[in-house]
Amino acid sequence: MMPTFTRSAAAGSAVGVVNRIQAKLPEMPAAMAKIAAFLLEQPQAPLELSIMELAEQTGTSAATVTRFCRLIGYAGYVPFRVGIAADVGRSDARESWKADIGRAFGPDDSPRDVLSTLMNAHTRSLQETASLMDLVLMKKIARRIALSTHVDIYGIGGSAVMAKEMQSRLYRVGINTHHWSEVHAGLTSAAIQDQSCVAVGISNTGRTEETIQMLRQAGAAGALTVALSNNPDSPLAEAADLQIITSVHEQFLQPDDLSAKHVQLLVLDLLYLLVAQENFGQSTTKLAASAIAVSAHRRPHRAASKAAPMEQLARPAAERRRRNRV
């Protein structure tokens, strides 16, 4: 059974071939015009049809198809199909760029244009997240974390970086914290939480299945659950007791871009500082202890050592001036 085709948005992707057909259409005899009419409606059809099948679909012959290909600038049917494939590939690459990189950025944009667009998007996302922030809620979450016996933080992929960063900060101020990016280990930890624990799930889209599963498991075990997401209507937000919603302009950037991470980091920075305030005495003691522990691995400031070479350079110059006066 031969393939059948319907007109779709993809029909315009072989734009180079379509332009050639339209340019030569006035010169075509009736038989070739039938091929042209078919291909203007379904320009990708030759990718799936043999020359005989195309001839049958258009009511012509293989010889007429060959002459048609030559008229529009191809040596034969095979080079004609290659031309269509190349057109489709270029179109697909553009669409892939738009889907994966973002519509505001073009592959030929100058570095200055890219930087300007990034700055606008990131700044606007940070400002809007700050304006939407429920500070009473943030204080409540910080207090629960400060009083908790254990905190679990769940994140997959890019959000795992944020989860690890938050775990490191909370641990330094004396909060018993773990981060989980592997679902089996995360579910195991979530299952042994209780009412004295807090669980935080991080996902910009709010649709990461593993994060949703871990947070739900922690909630079922009795922990207070918190969702950090850009989507207030997401499954992650619905699964949590409390929601922290960020703002990311996805018309500029995609969900996994750094703009999303920056607003997440803003929220986590604020939460960390509020927790540190809640446990001020413990926080300062723990931070001082950790600073002393790593001090031997940090090089001292070299301001004093830099002054000595400058003095040595100054002495010969002064000596030369003294000799010249003599």
**How far, CA to CA in Å, does 293 sit from each of 20, 171, 175, 297, 310?**
73, 15, 18, 9, 34
The residues, any chain, with a CB within 8 Å of residue 40's CB and separated by 6 or more, are 18, 21, 22
Whether pLDDT at 3 is above 70? no
Whether pLDDT at 270 is above 90? yes
Rounded mean pLDDT, 78-91? 78
Whether pLDDT at 221 is above 70? yes
pLDDT digits (tens, 9 = 90+) for 26-65: 889 999 999 999 998 888 888 888 999 999 999 999 999 9
Q: What is the band of 316 on the pLDDT scale with cuts at 50, 70, 90?
A: low
Whether pLDDT at 204 is above 50? yes
Residue 9 pLDDT: 38
**How far, CA to CA in Å, does 287 sit from each of 34, 90, 311?**
80, 55, 38
d(CA 257, CA 251) in angstroms, rounded, equals: 12
The residue type found at 165 is E
In DSSP notation, 231-246 reads -TTSHHHHHSSEEEE-
Rounded mean pLDDT, 2-15? 43
Whether pLDDT at 299 is above 50? yes
The residues, any chain, with a CB within 8 Å of residue 216's CB and separated by 6 or more, are 225, 239
d(CA 23, CA 16) in angstroms, rounded, equals: 11
Whether pLDDT at 102 is above 70? no
Residue 185 pLDDT: 96
Lowest-pLDDT range of 79-83, 168-172, 259-263: 259-263
Tokens (6 digits) for 299: 């090089």
Most confident region among 100-109, 165-174, 190-199 by mean pLDDT? 190-199
Whether pLDDT at 2 is above 70? no
Whether pLDDT at 143 is above 50? yes
Domains and CATH numbers, the chain: 9-99 (1.10.10.10), 121-292 (3.40.50.10490)
